[in-house]
Structure 1
């Protein structure tokens, strides 16, 4: 007992995923899958603590 509410919610979520219309950006998906970097996500990362790192050669 007690599984009715959980099963009903799973069914609701499954139906929502099945029948909802999606606005998919297939170009962005292809770039992500092929490993091409997205230009909007690139940020010059500067490690502000690199000057304090131990330099052992």
Structure 2
């Protein structure tokens, strides 16, 4: 049950940007498309690391 709450929260937060700030969301993705693969992977790595640290320290 707890995992579903987390997934629901993530989807809620992720959906707010395109719902409320459509133009800014579109511009952000246009900028992301200009990044190299290595840069995108690094951003993904930092995001995963931040998520893991939040989970570890919130226990």
TM tier, smaller: 0.3 to 0.5
Structure ranking higher in helix proportion: 2
Larger Rg: 1
By relative contact order (CA 8 Å, sep 6+), the higher-ranking structure is 2
TM-score when normalising by structure 1: 0.32
